Amino acid sequence: MICRIWRGWTTPQNAPKYQDIVLNKVIPGIEAMAIPGFRHIDVLCRAHEDEVEFTTIMWFDSLASVKDFMGEDYTVSHVPPEAQAVLSRFDSHAAHHDIVDRRSQ
């Protein structure tokens, strides 16, 4: 299994707008793509003193599934313009990690 991790930051004032966009538009749009091997997306939120950090964690069966989602340049971020408009900054590329499961050893 592969975990795709991406982070974006916004102002406290724009955090509810970004959260609405990601939960009600971005995620349903990705789910509607019916990507083979895509499992689900988790969204984490952490408030800092002057900004709010969002982390998305996408779960895929394999790197091939990630490539089905993003293409050969699979590390590039998937951030629709509407989401970019309310973010202060964001990772230009996502990180990908293999999942280590001690139960399978």
Structure tokens at 57: 């964690």
Confidence of residue 103 (pLDDT cuts 50, 70, 90): low
Segment 41-78, tens digit of pLDDT: 999 999 999 999 999 999 999 999 999 999 999 999 99
Query: Of 33, 87, 100, 11, which is closest to residue 56 (Cα–Cα)?
Result: 87
Segment 18-50, tens digit of pLDDT: 999 999 999 999 999 999 999 999 999 999 999
Cβ 2 vs Cβ 62: under 8 Å: yes
Per-residue pLDDT, 11: 98
Per-residue pLDDT, 99: 86
Write the CB contacts of 4 (distance below 8 Å, at least 6 apart in sequence).
56, 57, 58, 59, 60, 66, 94, 95, 96
